[in-house]
Structure 1
Amino acid sequence: MYLPFIGAGLGTILFLAYLGVPLLPMIVIIGIGVAIWYYSSAGTKVGSYWNKGSSQDQRNAIPNIQFTDIGGQTKAKQELMEALDFLIQQEKMKDYGIQPLKGILLTGPPGTGKTLMAKAAAHYSDAVFLTASGSEFVEMYVGVGANRVRQLFSQARKAAKNQKKNRAVIFIDEIDVIGAKREGSQHKEYDQTLNQLLTEMDGIKKNDIPVFVIAATNRKDLLDSALTRPGRFDRHIAVDLPDKAGRKHILSLHVKGKPIHDEVDLDKIARETFGFSGASLASVVNEAAIYAMRDEAKQIKMKHFAQAVDKVLMGEQIDRATSTEDKKRVAIHELGHALVAELLEPNSVAQVVLTPRGQALGYVRHHPKEDRYLHTKSQLEKQVMICLAGTAAEETWYQNRSTGAKNDYEQAIHLCKTMIDTGLSSLGIIDMSLIDPDKLSKEVTHILNELYEQTLNITKRHYSFLQDCLNLLLIEERIDGEQFRDLLARELVS
């Protein structure tokens, strides 16, 4: 359709060149005109393309996911269902004079199930479900993001009409991309996009079909206050890491349909996976199945789950050639960690492993007896001693230290600073920002030196135990927690 215009333009240029008119200024002017035309129409073109793709992908988009399919998160699910009840029971709301909620903000670490919660919300409310990511609204062309927001809300209402639904749910993942705090200038692309989102959520225009917005972020602190205030996102629901009961529930959902051996103890796996997200637990079950397939086992056994937990925590097992002396030093180092950990916190060692995995040449996997969110001074000191135990064991055995304890030192220093910051040190209750760096360094050094001496005394007292375990670990390259405790019990009795 543009060929006649292009032909006329070339003909005009040739004619002017024949007359001797300078062409360079004219070419510059034409180029500027073409650029202005292109950029002014690009936003509409890009938006139309995005609109077309989205409508195809999101047709008949009520997810088949229910809240019962989501493990753990009992409190978060209850809060979300209550908010959705306001959307469903509109007549009852009018009787009580309750204003309808506009949106819900889901906050929490990655992998905790925020997207699943949004899909279950759409199923629960029997609403049309459209999804978008914050990055989809941001473009270099001014106005494209705002146009996409308008299209998204328009699509939601249109899809609801087509499917004869009286409500729609929009889920915006990573909303901090477009909802970040504004800096005063209203000319930036993401500011215009945010302004349009605020306008759509305000519902200035009366519409027959309400659009409920669910957004997710793991950086709530970055969001603009105009977005998080009541009337926009009326409720903020924390979707945190699951507790032990939640982890067991998640595991039980993911093992359904898999050939699980009767020996598999989900309660034990849940206890050993403190701090795992729902996504991590799903990965554990999947990796366990992969290990079972590699072994050509008919069922997934407990050893496969142990290997899977190690992989999710530490990474894939690697073939890293180490000298015999380095392997022996690593074994002594890890046995030191395990020894002190088991003496200070009984039944906390899951296994001692000498096989390299990820960046570690060896490691001790611990599991807490219970989920712990508050710590006393004694508990923090025990954690510091466990961190320093590897170095203490090396010094006990070799009368020197190595560079392998770098990460241990970093963790120990962090724990010491936590003690100081929370008023559990000899400095008392202080403001960390006001304390002199030299004074802070001296206090950290004092705590470390004092606890290291205690740790060193423990490893020296159990020198013969380290020797017995060393021979076994060098041969087997793995000692299970129960086996380690049996060996330690014999040592303590003798």
Structure 2
Amino acid sequence: MGKEIVIGAVPVVVAFLVFIGVNVAPFIIAALILSFLFFFVTKQGGMSMAQKRTTVDVPKTTVKFNEIGGQERAKKELKEALDFLIHKDSLKEYGIRPLKGLLLTGPPGTGKTLMAKAAANYTNSAFVAASGSQFVEMYVGVGAQRVRDLFKEAKQKAEKNNQDTAIIFIDEIDVLGGKREGSQHREYDQTLNQLLTEMDGITTSEHPRVLMVAATNRADMLDDALLRPGRFDRQIVVDLPDMKARKQILEIHTKNKPLAADVDIEAVARDTFNFSGAQLESVTNEAAIYAFREESKEITNRHFSHAIDKVMMGEQTDRESTSEERERVANHELGHAIVSEVVRPDSVSQVSLRPRGQALGYVRQSPQQDRYLYTLENLEQQIMIALGGAVAEEMLYGGRSTGSRNDFEQALRLVNTIIDSGLSQLGIVKMDMVGKEALHEERQRILNELLDQTRAILRTYFPVFGHALNHLLREEVLNGDEFRVMLVEAQALPKKNNIEEIETHLMNA
């Protein structure tokens, strides 16, 4: 309030002084000078405070490579690069230049930061860490100053601890080192230029020697100047763990947990296909939390099953559906499960009617082996599984519901993959160069053929719906082994091979 009074009073006073004949020019000039000095001091103070936050105080790391599950190839590549720091004298015999920078790339939660910490422990190096977002600042030149301070601190820390090497780790480097757009001048362009200069200044003969390690989920967004040899010499992919690696990670995170005799770590690893290391750690922690809630002395297989569902789908919701909706959702999920088990035997781990996240029900699949290369048959099978829910609704209720929307999106995405991979009748094509009408006709052909095959499978195993539905509505969960028994029993029952018989069966039920 006082500030507004002063601002309002100043013009009045100036006008009064002018009115009585006083020369106010010296007062106005003095006021302008004082305002400029005040603004300059305030800005410098803000810059100095920002610059004080340049570095991050990181305690001595104790992480070791054998404490990181899986990633054997990535760890081997990283260790080889680190050995250049340790055995620097023997490199001269081969004329090898020690690497200046290592870039760890891969999805979130795969252990990139852990590997950087393990690298510092492996080489007994001073370790300084920062995040890419710490270098983005509104004040011009502050980001570049932070880069200089980061390298300076790494060297000082190594000298203070009598260490020969120092490792600088920058996480999320894509924030700092993104592609530069033409001649547009931006503050973080200066920051990136300073980082490039500092990396060029790393020499193999200096003491202490500095190794730059960075991590990103989006290597494609980095500037080309940053990725050239002599800066980041080696890119190491830290990918999602495979079956063997998932088992190792789970064993590491369950060492200090009381597991029941029925817990099969290999089965848990199989059920967590495409999980990252962070998600696997969360599964073991959530399983322990479920056991704690029930005051159970041991963590059972049921706790792990609940934990996998929670990490995969989210927390169970209190959403209450009508009996008609529950029955429709149950039959929808059974349609997915039947097709999945027929085209990929032993793939169904669980059918659930418990709502989690946005899903009213779901089928959890556990592939017998990790797959990274897909044939036309594999893709068609996955499309049929996605269509199974909608086809089941058509057969049982005469129409579909909005619950099939995500299934159709997945099916269309897979159809586009078939066409784009040259596996369709269009042959090897580039989708941008094919007419929309031709693409639409090919998509419809593929979907119609697979819809017919899906209907044939569900007709053959139609008795499973009636048998499994009662169990699913009552228990809300149907595990894979129980479901497979029902499929075997259904083969011995009379088959209803046409829609009329199916509708009659439903009306009588």
TM-score (structure 1 length as normaliser): 0.93
Contact map agreement 1:109 1:240 (CA 8 A) in 2? yes
Distance 2:152 2:70 in 1: 35
Equivalent residue number for residue 230 of structure 1:
229
The Cα shift of 1:44 comes to 3.1
Contact map agreement 1:186 1:192 (CA 8 A) in 2? no
The Cα shift of 1:257 comes to 0.8
Distance 2:242 2:422 in 1: 28
Which SS does the other structure have where 1:95 is aligned?
Answer: coil
Distance 2:357 2:444 in 1: 30
Q: How does 1:248-287 map to 2 (within 5 A)?
A: 248-287=247-286
Distance 1:313 1:411 in 2: 17
Q: How does 1:71-220 map to 2 (within 5 A)?
A: 71-185=69-183, 187-203=185-201, 207-220=206-219
Contact map agreement 1:274 1:367 (CA 8 A) in 2? yes
Q: CA deviation digits over 1:78-116, x for unaligned, max 9? A: 000000000111111122221121110000000000000
Which SS does the other structure have where 1:139 is aligned?
Answer: coil
The Cα shift of 1:469 comes to 0.8
Which SS does the other structure have where 2:481 is aligned?
Answer: helix
The Cα shift of 1:27 comes to 3.7
Distance 2:385 2:185 in 1: 54
The Cα shift of 1:453 comes to 1.7
The Cα shift of 1:186 comes to 7.1
Contact map agreement 1:43 1:142 (CA 8 A) in 2? no
Contact map agreement 1:134 1:176 (CA 8 A) in 2? yes
Matched residue type, 2:91: M
Note the residue ranges of structure 2 that are not aligned, 5 or more in a row.
1-9, 494-509
Matched residue type, 1:290: I
Matched residue type, 1:159: K
Which SS does the other structure have where 1:237 is aligned?
Answer: strand
Contact map agreement 1:172 1:215 (CA 8 A) in 2? yes
Equivalent residue number for residue 45 of structure 1:
49
Note the residue ranges of structure 1 that are not aligned, 5 or more in a row.
1-9
Distance 1:392 1:260 in 2: 41
Matching of residue 303 in structure 1 with residue 299 in structure 2: no
Matched residue type, 1:102: K
Which SS does the other structure have where 1:433 is aligned?
Answer: helix
Which SS does the other structure have where 1:96 is aligned?
Answer: coil
Percent of pairs with identical residues? 53
The Cα shift of 1:311 comes to 0.6
Distance 1:136 1:336 in 2: 50
CA 1:239–1:204 in 2, change beyond 3 Å: closer, same or farther?
Answer: closer
Equivalent residue number for residue 423 of structure 1:
422
Distance 2:272 2:32 in 1: 65
Distance 2:122 2:30 in 1: 63
Aligned positions, number: 476
Q: CA deviation digits over 1:199-256, x for unaligned, max 9? A: 1111268742111110000111111111111111111000000100000000000001
Bigger CA drift: 72-81 or 431-440? 431-440
Which SS does the other structure have where 1:78 is aligned?
Answer: helix
Matched residue type, 2:187: E
The Cα shift of 1:40 comes to 4.5
Contact map agreement 1:421 1:430 (CA 8 A) in 2? yes
The Cα shift of 1:296 comes to 1.2
Contact map agreement 1:43 1:143 (CA 8 A) in 2? no
Matched residue type, 2:361: G
Matched residue type, 1:166: D
Matched residue type, 1:232: R
Distance 1:229 1:385 in 2: 45
Contact map agreement 2:54 2:150 (CA 8 A) in 1? no
Distance 1:474 1:204 in 2: 66
The Cα shift of 1:26 comes to 5.2
Q: CA deviation digits over 1:48-67, x for unaligned, max 9? A: 2445xx3xx33xx3310000
Equivalent residue number for residue 288 of structure 2:
289
RMSD of Structure 2 on Structure 1 (CA): 2.0
Pick from 21, 28, 33: which aligns with 2:24? 21
Matched residue type, 1:488: L
The Cα shift of 1:319 comes to 0.9
Contact map agreement 1:396 1:463 (CA 8 A) in 2? no
Q: CA deviation digits over 1:164-186, x for unaligned, max 9? A: 11111010000011111122437
Contact map agreement 2:113 2:215 (CA 8 A) in 1? yes
The Cα shift of 1:189 comes to 1.1
Matched residue type, 2:281: A
Contact map agreement 1:349 1:481 (CA 8 A) in 2? yes
Contact map agreement 1:108 1:240 (CA 8 A) in 2? yes
Matched residue type, 2:43: Y
CA 1:297–1:446 in 2, change beyond 3 Å: closer, same or farther?
Answer: same
Distance 1:309 1:17 in 2: 79
Contact map agreement 2:100 2:202 (CA 8 A) in 1? no
Q: How does 1:265-414 map to 2 (within 5 A)?
A: 265-414=264-413
Matched residue type, 2:473: L
Bigger CA drift: 42-51 or 110-119? 42-51
